[in-house]
């Protein structure tokens, strides 16, 4: 991939289609294309490069959720939406750590995105709940679940990786792990 | 345990859509009849959706992290980073605040310069300050000290006097606040030498205006007031006159408006070139059409013929502070006065019955 290609920002249409198809190339272009905008915003508003990375990644996840939701409707440029989301997330983080009413220096137009942010907060809560459930699940269950659900490994692969005698055993094991995870998830 | 697990397995299959039609129908019947199973189905659904969301979230994160690792964040961030120079950093962070501050400074400088150019005409600022204190002094002077030939020193309370004029036919008299300030009892006296007891009805220390009300039942109601109050300002150089009681008889003073502002640029007052003496305080300042343009309230000690008068605008404000129905046949505002076109001696003759001496006892 040449430098020129990497720096070119895909059109909104390409991005939306890419998100729906789960295209990694589009994710790459999207990520590289808009990161400097958020980096500038965060660095100029009391943040570090690490903060920029975290906020930007959260923002992209919100964008993915939005595009993949049933009632998706884009009423602005993707750039503006992404900026507004990241701005809001950063403002929230600032308010958690610093004194309130922090003055934000803006670099782009800002959208009203409270609904999306509320949805994101709800999902984020569940995400953290799942994360802590997985953490207390212990090995090998954690890896089995992650391999199966996140890395999309087949039962056969898991079977070989963990040395189960056949894939039925692995399946039973995975099933038990899932039940335990479910219990932990609802307990938290 | 086995049964529990098998139900979970069925719920899984149900949610995955892998039940055959007969099983599906049977399970839906079961779900409808057993709330506990329905609850399990919902919980399982939420759980699987969250797991799916979590998985997508994690997958995206992993992808993004690998993309991020390829980025040269350092090079990207250099132009946005806090500049090593403190000034540039300050400028970037507080651009708008600095802009506002700068424009304020420019404005302030402009105002300062205009003030300086004004003060040049009158000498130094200090000088003006002194003049203010002189004014206060002169304002005390302009209240006539009566009976000061009776040298009983402090055994009897001193009596002061000023001037006031009627603003309605039923005994509302306007004068200066400093005339009646601290008074124990107040009387007005007309040109015939008859005195009536009054009380303070309204005071405005800032504009140096007080309104008195006659409480003496013997007070004869006045006829319609001959003068009116001017709504607008007086013009520079406009000929004006005043009537007052610097002595026991009414005295006419004649002059012109010499400045549209009072001492120290005080915009509440006019400067009037008119001979006034202690006792003139509270007297009306009239133009030659019979309109009241101000109330005499002080003079400058060191400059001959420089007196000050509260602008008629503030008289109006004071009058408006009084409930309209308590004023009978109140003074006209902004109308043609009945004195218009009359010669001065005729005007004075008509007005003098509405001008009173204020006697202050304390």
For residue B355, name the pLDDT band (cuts at 50, 70, 90): very high
Residues of B in contact with A182 (CB under 8 A): 43-44, 47
Task: Say if residue B124's pLDDT is above 60.
Answer: no
As a whole number, mean pLDDT of residues A105-121 equals 78
Cβ atoms of B272 and B307 closer than 8 Å: yes
The residue among B211 and B267 whose pLDDT is bigger is: B211
Task: Say if residue B68's pLDDT is above 80.
Answer: yes
As a whole number, mean pLDDT of residues A91-119 equals 75
For residue B185, name the pLDDT band (cuts at 50, 70, 90): confident
Cβ atoms of A76 and A108 closer than 8 Å: no
As a whole number, mean pLDDT of residues B304-333 equals 82
As a whole number, mean pLDDT of residues B219-242 equals 87
Task: Say if residue B66's pLDDT is above 80.
Answer: yes
Query: Of A46-55, B133-142, B147-156, which has the strongest mean pLDDT?
Result: A46-55
Looking at residue B345, the DSSP 8-state letter turns out to be H
**Residue A53 in contact with partner chain B when CB distance is under 8 A:** yes
Selected for mutation to probe chain B from A19, A22, A29, A35 (highest B CB count within 10 Å) is: A35
Residue with tokens 């015939």: B192
- Alpha helices by DSSP H, A24-113: 24-43, 49-68, 78-97
Task: Say if residue B3's pLDDT is above 70.
Answer: no
**Residue A1 in contact with partner chain B when CB distance is under 8 A:** no
Question: Looking at residue B150, what is its pLDDT?
Answer: 38
**Residue B50 in contact with partner chain A when CB distance is under 8 A:** yes
**ipTM score here?**
0.78
Looking at residue A150, the DSSP 8-state letter turns out to be I
Cβ atoms of B351 and B243 closer than 8 Å: yes
Query: Of A168-172, B172-176, B183-187, which has the strongest mean pLDDT?
Result: B172-176
Residues of B in contact with A35 (CB under 8 A): 68, 71, 76
Nearest CA in chain A to B6: A175
Angle between helices B95-122 and B86-93 (to 10 degrees): 90
**Residue B58 in contact with partner chain A when CB distance is under 8 A:** yes
As a whole number, mean pLDDT of residues B47-70 equals 85
For residue B295, name the pLDDT band (cuts at 50, 70, 90): very high
Question: Looking at residue B5, what is its pLDDT?
Answer: 60
**Residue B53 in contact with partner chain A when CB distance is under 8 A:** yes
d(CA A90, CA A98): 12
The mean predicted confidence, pLDDT, of chain B is 78
Question: Looking at residue A103, what is its pLDDT?
Answer: 67
As a whole number, mean pLDDT of residues B162-184 equals 88
Task: Provide DSSP, B90-140.
Answer: HHHHTHHHHHHHHHHHHHHHHHHHHHHHHHHHH--HHHHHHHHHHHHHHHH
The residue among B217 and A111 whose pLDDT is bigger is: B217
Find the range with the poorest average confidence among A22-36, A139-153, B191-205, B234-248. Answer: A139-153
Continuous segment of H or E residues that includes residue B186: strand B185-189
Task: Say if residue A119's pLDDT is above 50.
Answer: yes
**Residue B76 in contact with partner chain A when CB distance is under 8 A:** yes
The pLDDT tens digits for B194-211 are: 889 999 888 888 888 999
Task: Say if residue B89's pLDDT is above 80.
Answer: no
Give the global pTM: 0.45
Task: State the pairing for strand pair B228-229/B332-333.
Answer: parallel
d(CA A146, CA A162): 13
Residues of A in contact with B8 (CB under 8 A): 179
Inter-chain CB proximity B60 and A61 less than 8 Å = yes
As a whole number, mean pLDDT of residues B90-96 equals 71
**From the CA of A4, how many Å to the nearest CA of chain B?**
14
Q: Which candidate from A27, A181, A182 shows the least CB-CB separation from B63?
A: A27
Coil, strand or helix: which one is B217?
coil
Query: Of B89-98, B155-164, B348-357, which has the strongest mean pLDDT?
Result: B348-357
Question: Looking at residue B152, what is its pLDDT?
Answer: 37
Question: Looking at residue A45, what is its pLDDT?
Answer: 84
Task: Say if residue B1's pLDDT is above 50.
Answer: no
Residues of B in contact with A150 (CB under 8 A): 54-55, 58-59, 62
As a whole number, mean pLDDT of residues B283-310 equals 84
Reading the block at residue B235, the tokens are 């013009």
pLDDT > 90 fraction of chain B, expressed in percent and rounded: 9
């Amino acid at each position: 991939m040449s430098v020129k290609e990497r720096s070119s920002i895909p059109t909104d249409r390409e991005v939306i289609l890419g998100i729906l198809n789960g295209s990694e190339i589009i994710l790459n272009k999207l990520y590289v294309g808009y990161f400097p905008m958020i980096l500038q915003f965060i660095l100029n508003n009391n943040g570090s490069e690490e903060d920029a990375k975290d906020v930007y990644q959260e923002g992209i996840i919100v964008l993915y959720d939005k595009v993949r939701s049933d009632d998706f409707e884009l009423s602005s440029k993707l750039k503006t939406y992404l900026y507004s989301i990241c701005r809001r997330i950063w403002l929230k983080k600032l308010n958690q750590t610093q004194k309130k009413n922090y003055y934000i220096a803006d670099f782009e137009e800002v959208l009203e995105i409270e609904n999306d942010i509320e949805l994101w907060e709800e999902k984020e809560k569940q995400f953290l709940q799942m994360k802590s459930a997985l953490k207390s699940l212990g090995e090998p269950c954690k890896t089995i679940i992650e391999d199966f659900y996140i890395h999309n490994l087949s039962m056969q692969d898991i079977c070989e990786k963990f040395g189960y005698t056949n894939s039925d055993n692995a399946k039973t094991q995975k099933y038990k792990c899932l039940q335990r995870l479910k219990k932990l998830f609802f307990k938290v | 345990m086995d049964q529990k697990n098998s139900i979970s397995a069925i719920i899984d299959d149900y949610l995955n859509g892998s039940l055959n039609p007969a099983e599906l129908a049977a399970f839906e019947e079961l779900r409808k009849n057993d709330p506990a199973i329905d609850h399990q189905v919902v919980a399982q659904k939420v759980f699987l959706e969250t797991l799916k969301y979590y998985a997508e979230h994690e997958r995206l994160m992993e992808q993004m992290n690998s993309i991020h690792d390829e980025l040269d964040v350092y090079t990207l961030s250099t132009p946005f980073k806090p500049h090593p120079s403190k000034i540039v950093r300050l400028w970037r962070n507080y651009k708008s605040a600095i802009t506002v501050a700068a424009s304020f400074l420019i404005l302030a400088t402009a105002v300062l310069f205009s003030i300086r150019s004004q003060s040049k005409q009158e000498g130094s600022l200090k000088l003006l300050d002194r003049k203010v204190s002189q004014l206060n002094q002169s304002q005390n002077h302009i209240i006539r000290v009566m009976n000061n030939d009776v040298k009983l020193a402090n055994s009897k309370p001193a009596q002061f006097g000023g001037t006031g004029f009627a603003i309605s036919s039923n005994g509302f008299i306007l004068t200066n606040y400093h005339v009646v300030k601290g008074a124990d009892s107040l009387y007005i006296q007309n040109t015939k030498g008859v005195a009536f007891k009054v009380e303070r009805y309204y005071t405005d220390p800032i504009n140096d205006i007080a309104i008195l009300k006659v409480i003496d039942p013997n007070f004869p109601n006045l006829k319609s007031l001959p003068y009116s109050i001017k709504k607008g300002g007086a013009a520079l150089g406009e000929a004006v006159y005043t009537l007052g009681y610097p002595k026991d008889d009414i005295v006419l003073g004649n002059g012109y408006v010499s400045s549209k502002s009072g001492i120290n640029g005080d915009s509440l007052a006019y400067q009037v070139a008119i001979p006034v003496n202690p006792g003139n305080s509270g007297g009306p300042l009239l133009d030659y059409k019979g309109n009241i343009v101000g109330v005499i309230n002080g003079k400058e000690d060191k400059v001959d013929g420089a007196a000050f008068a509260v602008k008629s605008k503030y008289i109006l404000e004071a009058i408006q502070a009084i409930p309209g129905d308590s004023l009978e046949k109140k003074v006209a505002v902004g109308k043609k006065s009945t004195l218009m076109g009359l010669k001065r001696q005729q005007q004075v003759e008509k007005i003098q019955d509405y001008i009173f001496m204020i006697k202050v006892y304390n």
